[in-house]
Amino acid sequence: MHHFKTLAASTAIVLCASGALAQDSITVAIQLEPPNLDPTGGAAQAIDSVLYANVFEGLTRFDADGAIIRGLAQSWDISDDGLVYTFNLAAGVTFHDGTTMDAEDVKFSLDRARAEDSTNAQKGLFAGITDVTVIDPLTVQVTLDQPNGSFLFNMAWGDAVIVAPESIENIASNPIGTGPFTFTDWVQGDRLELTRNPDYWGPAPALESATFRFISDPTAAFAAVMAEDVDAFVGFPAPENLPQFEADPRFQVLVGNTEGETILSTNNKMPPFDDIRVRKALAHAIDRQAIIDGAMFGYGTPIGTHFAPHNPDYVDLLANSQHDPDLARSLLAEAGFADGFTTTLKLPPPSYARRGGEIIASQLRAVGIETEITNLEWAQWIEEVFTNKDFGLSIVSHTEPMDIGIYANPDYYFQYDNPEFQALMETLNATTDPAMRSNLLAQAQAIISEDYVNGYLFELAVATVAKAGLQGLWVNQPTAAVDLTGVSWSN
Amino acid sequence: MNRNLIIGTALTVLFIALAALSFLWTPADIETLDIPNRLQTPNATNWLGTDHFGRDILSMIMMGARTSIAVALLAVGIGMALGIPLGLLAAARHGSFLDELIMRGNDLVFAFPSLVIAILITAVFGASAVNAIIAIGIFNIPVFARLTRGAALPLWERDFILTARVCGKSATRISIEHILPNITNLMIVQGTIQFSLGILAEAALSYIGLGAQPPTASWGRMLADAQTLVSIAPHVALVPGFAILLMVLGLNLMGDGLRDWLDPRIRIART
């Protein structure tokens, strides 16, 4: 017994000591593990969550509020016709393998991303580029085929980061970028480790090392945070547990915006959803607040179109689709479905989809639409719904920033084909004047809202649960990222 | 009097009665969600409280009992309908190639943990109550086949069977007319035990999302849904947990009780 006490006491001392020393490292949990580590080749958001701003940097970047700020490009000049961008690169930047980052690497990265055989998940970002020219080692000139008001925004995406020809071959398993942290280890299925880059060109981060852990199960996530196994959980998956963390002085809860428009995806090519009256009936059958309360425990902002409510250009179009089951029933009757119909509702794993699906199924049943719910894993969802378009309805959150342009692509999985909208998007892309862009964006939002392309539910909120002493974590998620550059422990 | 049998039967009958009652009446409609009224603790309106969608938990338990009992009953039915004839056949052709074939086939199915087969089947053919029935049914087949063969073999050595054979009855007729009635007790007892395992398997499958799909109520899914709510509304998890516990306990007690009651040797020893 005496020995046990001594042991316990010495363990306590060791724990305190390690606690004091651990102030320059952090363990961050996120829900999904990246399938590979190449942000320029993979579509998975988790790749950016781990690597964006930490390991890889682009010409420009998003800051915590979603504004576009300088990245590797320290300044830029735009020609009067809006076609030529001249970027002045930061001096003295090296990749983690010691090679220098210069204009040649920028040209390599952009040419690789826009190449015919490129596997970049967001090739559209680079579509307008006609030429990339190296002026001198620190100056690079990008020429566009037409003015593009969102070019600097496009260059801030994780898919547009700068990579080097020397290290590109093994990028998927050994990512080498220019960021403040270097990649050290990845134990698949468990964790990924980053270490401070001593040769970083910018201000050194406060943290010496960081470990990412991947915990997908909400119950395990709750346990890991409660037991203080992790210092922070970005994108905490169980909103019902947040009040408990808020009440606990050991933790802080940050609830912020994402760019995630959560929608009831509707297969616009599949009867009866090719009839606008049926889609309008869907929209009026849905009670958004019940979904936000029931699936997200109140976290989330209702949306009436595919646009983020915190964006200054957002137009409130909720009035187009107020909850009105009687109107929904009469619209269905008008479309020839007085007795309702049966369709599929295919749900990916997140709780907004699984719980939201049950709520929507019940709301649709109330107007006569029966749904057959199928729960899918992400890989199955990507295959069945996103790729093969074999679905009637689905629920998913579109987390890419400013992604209203997906409605201009008739092959996108919900298959909305409206030439008027496509023309509007082309005009928008060619417009640089801010006032005119706002106006065009407002029109675009109105068109898809009045066409009831999808059921617009809510803007996904993101919750970060962190230990009380941790500061500098992003509250909002303007892009999928866990930016550790500004994170530190207060004492 | 046999206490196990009474308690076990009472519990089993209670749940079967609840399931039967749910066809006619439930305290509340579980298809309509009432989200503002969610996570209520047990009260006068909702005797067992409400879940995260504001549905009445007692009604969910009643509807869930229906799913559990239907899946387990049909699965045991499949096991008996295929397993008993196979076992009778193997016993009748004892030592033949057919006997070997049936028994090694049994071993093959037995070699896999039963739940793993069930997960495999539902994962490949899609999650639904029907596939859960088939999956649980398949691993019930060898249980009944082996038990039947084991019980039938010594019977084949008995004088009354010999008499029947001398009279010219075919092996099929002897199996049906003489062997089967003599092993019925055993099958009833085993059926009860398998029924309880079926309830557990259904709960396990629907817990991992491979059983009955929403909006069909299921005890396993109620548990899974309540998982993250344990710390804020424990009753949401406790109620379906106890339902599974009591139903399985009831069936096991009933199985034990039935065995004691039906087995003449034990009955005689007691008197």
* B contacts of A222 (beta carbons < 8 Å): 228, 231
* A contacts of B50 (beta carbons < 8 Å): none
Task: Tell me: pLDDT of A81 over 90.
Answer: no
The pLDDT of residue A317 is 94
**Chain segment A253-277, per-residue pLDDT in tens:** 999 988 899 999 999 999 899 999 9
Residues paired with residue B56 on neighbouring β-strands, in sequence order: B50
**What band does A13 get if pLDDT is binned at 50, 70 and 90?**
very low
**What band does A10 get if pLDDT is binned at 50, 70 and 90?**
very low
Using the structure block, give the residue that is written with the tokens 């020609």. A79
Nearest Cα to Cα of residue B239 among B18, B74, B13: B18
What's the pTM value of the predicted model, to 2 decimals? 0.81
The pLDDT of residue B270 is 57
**Chain segment B121-132, per-residue pLDDT in tens:** 887 887 888 888
CB contact (8 A) between residue B228 and residue A357: no
On whether the CB atoms of residues A92 and A201 are closer than 8 A, the answer is yes
Which stretches within chain B are classed as H helix? 3-24, 57-92, 97-111, 114-125, 129-156, 159-166, 171-174, 180-207, 219-226, 234-262, 264-270
The pLDDT of residue A351 is 85
Mean pLDDT of chain A: 90
CA-based nearest distance A297→chain B, Å: 9
Residues 240-269 of B with CB under 8 A from A: none
On whether the CB atoms of residues A28 and A482 are closer than 8 A, the answer is yes
Residues 6 or more apart in contact with residue A55 via CB below 8 angstroms: A96, A175, A177, A179, A181, A182, A183, A194
Please tell me if residue A362 touches chain B, with a CB cutoff of 8 Å: yes
Task: Tell me: pLDDT of A22 over 80.
Answer: no
CA-based nearest distance B120→chain A, Å: 15
On whether the CB atoms of residues A64 and A476 are closer than 8 A, the answer is yes
**Chain segment B79-113, per-residue pLDDT in tens:** 999 999 999 999 999 889 999 999 999 998 888 88
Q: How far apart are CA A482 and CA A29, in angstroms?
A: 10
Give the percent of chain A with pLDDT over 70. Answer: 95
* B contacts of A218 (beta carbons < 8 Å): 227-228
CB contact (8 A) between residue A355 and residue B52: yes
Q: Stretch A220-232: mean pLDDT, rounded?
A: 94
Residue A100: both structure tokens together: 């220098």
**What band does A122 get if pLDDT is binned at 50, 70 and 90?**
confident
The pLDDT of residue A134 is 95
The pLDDT of residue A17 is 43
**Chain segment A282-292, per-residue pLDDT in tens:** 999 999 999 99
Please tell me if residue B130 touches chain A, with a CB cutoff of 8 Å: no
Please tell me if residue B33 touches chain A, with a CB cutoff of 8 Å: yes
Reported ipTM: 0.78
Give the percent of chain B with pLDDT over 70. Answer: 97
**Chain segment A414-453, per-residue pLDDT in tens:** 999 999 999 999 898 888 788 998 999 999 999 999 999 9
Task: Tell me: pLDDT of B269 over 80.
Answer: no
Task: Tell me: pLDDT of A112 over 70.
Answer: yes
Please tell me if residue A293 touches chain B, with a CB cutoff of 8 Å: yes
Q: Stretch A394-403: mean pLDDT, rounded?
A: 88
Q: How many C-beta neighbours within 10 Å does residue A12 have?
A: 10
Q: Which residue of B has its CA nearest to A288?
A: B35
Q: Which residue of A has its CA nearest to B34?
A: A290
CB contact (8 A) between residue A241 and residue B228: yes
Please tell me if residue B209 touches chain A, with a CB cutoff of 8 Å: yes
